[in-house]
Amino acid sequence: MLRFITSLTLCPSDIRKICRLIDEHAVAINPLKHILVTPLFVQEESLRRIEVLKHQHGSTVMFDSGGYYVQIGRLTYEEMYYPLLQSYRNNPWADIYTLPDHVPTSQDAEDAVWCKVKETARYSRLFYQELPPSIQQRAMPVVQGHTSDQIDHCLKTYLSLGVRHIGFGSFGTVGKNSEVNIATNSAVDLARYVVEIARKNDIEVHFFGLGAPALVAMIYAAGANSFDSSSWIKAAGFGQVYLPFTRGYNISHRNGHSELQQGITVEQFQELRSLTGHQCPFCSTIDELQKHKLNRALHNLLAIQETVDLINFGDHRTIKAIYERGSPRYRQEYEKWLAPA
């Protein structure tokens, strides 16, 4: 069964508002059942609120290392190591602890990629050895690399540690600071390879940073056990809304000139909502959805979870109909992803 892990590296007030809205509307799906948080980049109050969600509401919690923040230049890889180690030691209550990884970008030269891959493997081993044994059992190193040799370098190191979880983070990157992950064909092939090796060793695999509903069929077909995303709230900030297995569409204003900000009319949104079977309290009033970021964010969050539920329960007829209604690109990719299954 595929699991969606909600990235919740947010300020305390946003976490409070999200929890309050979920409780007030008594949503049928719990979108905070699985949570990812980067302890180095949240306030202490946020971390304590997430600890409460774990102990009082049964949420599972994955700690992220902060590799993304190294990727976008917020700190160096070396600066992350000791503060992260101290944070993990001070918070022994999480379910998974991501080891520090140095993320290669699509813009890196081959020698720079190799350098980051070797640093990731070497420092992950050292970091693992400095963790208390109880946390070592919940440690998750991250495979990085753009070639099979680089992937094998990481896998050889991690298999020798006897870990039960492995992350994959080397999807393509775009954006000014390489801040957006994309699923290139070569990266998907490497991710499948990681899953193949992991399964032979009874290891679960997590995919980092991919979360648009349109990509869930690929994530599922590649064999991941889980994936995370903050796209639900980032998209909402740009006025975008998701529906199960769709890309994001801008509903706050009509914009037909930008591929990134492709607009959708209220009528088109209602048609897609009917096709996907989506209903939630956060999109029941279109005016509120258009005006309020948190309404869009929680709607998006539920849409991603519904996407995962549909694919876990094998509702391929509905999934196929949604992809056929979408862009030609996703129609073609869907056939590659799930038609053999």
Residue 338 above 70 pLDDT? no
Percent of the chain topping pLDDT 70: 92
Domain end among 211, 236, 261: 236
pTM: 0.92
What's the CATH number where 128 sits?
A: 3.20.20.105
Among 140, 147, 228, 152, residue whose Cα is nearest residue 196: 152
* In a shared domain, residues 93 and 228: yes
For 183-256, where are the alpha helices, taking DSSP H only? 185-200, 216-222, 231-237
pLDDT band at 178 (very low <50, low <70, confident <90, very high): very low
Instruction: List, for residues 233-248, the tens digit of each pLDDT value.
Output: 999 999 999 999 998 9
Which residues, 6+ apart, have CB-to-CB distance to 253 below 8 Å? 239, 263
Task: Note the pLDDT of residue 96.
Answer: 98
Q: Could you tell me if 198 and 204 are in contact, meaning their C-beta atoms sit under 8 angstroms apart?
A: yes
Instruction: Report the SS3 class of residue 3.
Output: strand
**Distance linking the first and last C-alpha atoms of the chain:** 15
* In a shared domain, residues 186 and 302: no
Instruction: List, for residues 126-154, the tens digit of each pLDDT value.
Output: 999 999 999 999 999 999 999 999 999 99
CB-side exposure of 94: number of CA atoms within 13 Å? Answer: 28
pLDDT band at 316 (very low <50, low <70, confident <90, very high): confident
Lowest mean pLDDT among 5-19, 173-187, 206-220, 278-292: 173-187
Task: Note the pLDDT of residue 257.
Answer: 47
Instruction: List, for residues 40-75, the tens digit of each pLDDT value.
Output: 999 999 999 999 999 999 999 999 999 889 988 899
Task: Note the pLDDT of residue 169.
Answer: 86
Q: Is the dihedral of CA 31, 35, 41, 45 positive or negative?
A: positive
Task: Note the pLDDT of residue 295.
Answer: 96
Most confident stretch, 71-80, 151-160, 329-338: 151-160
Percent of the chain topping pLDDT 90: 75
pLDDT band at 181 (very low <50, low <70, confident <90, very high): very low
Domain end among 218, 236, 254: 236
Query: Cα(94)–Cα(59) distance, rounded to whole angstroms?
Result: 10
pLDDT band at 185 (very low <50, low <70, confident <90, very high): confident
Q: Which domain holds residue 280?
A: 242-338
Q: Could you tell me if 218 and 189 are in contact, meaning their C-beta atoms sit under 8 angstroms apart?
A: no
Q: In this structure, what token pair is assigned to residue 159? A: 């298999």
Mean pLDDT value across the chain: 90
Q: Could you tell me if 248 and 212 are in contact, meaning their C-beta atoms sit under 8 angstroms apart?
A: yes
Mean pLDDT within 291-306: 96
Q: For residue 271, what is the enclosing H or E element? A: helix 266-276
Instruction: List, for residues 97-125, the tens digit of each pLDDT value.
Output: 999 999 888 788 999 999 999 999 999 99
Task: Note the pLDDT of residue 253.
Answer: 58
**Amino acid making up residue 207:** F
* In a shared domain, residues 255 and 169: no
Q: In this structure, what token pair is assigned to residue 205? A: 């695999």
Domain end among 236, 253, 273: 236
Edge to edge, the sheet with strand 96-98 lists 139-140, 96-98, 60-63, 34-37, 3-7, 226-229, 204-207, 165-168, 142-143
* In a shared domain, residues 254 and 188: no
Residue 266 above 50 pLDDT? yes
Task: Note the pLDDT of residue 28.
Answer: 86
Task: Note the pLDDT of residue 341.
Answer: 44
Which residues, 6+ apart, have CB-to-CB distance to 37 below 8 Å? 7, 8, 9, 46, 47, 50, 61, 62, 63, 64
* In a shared domain, residues 254 and 229: no
* In a shared domain, residues 247 and 226: no
**Amino acid making up residue 33:** K
Residue 254 above 70 pLDDT? no
* In a shared domain, residues 89 and 183: yes
Q: In this structure, what token pair is assigned to residue 94? A: 């999480």
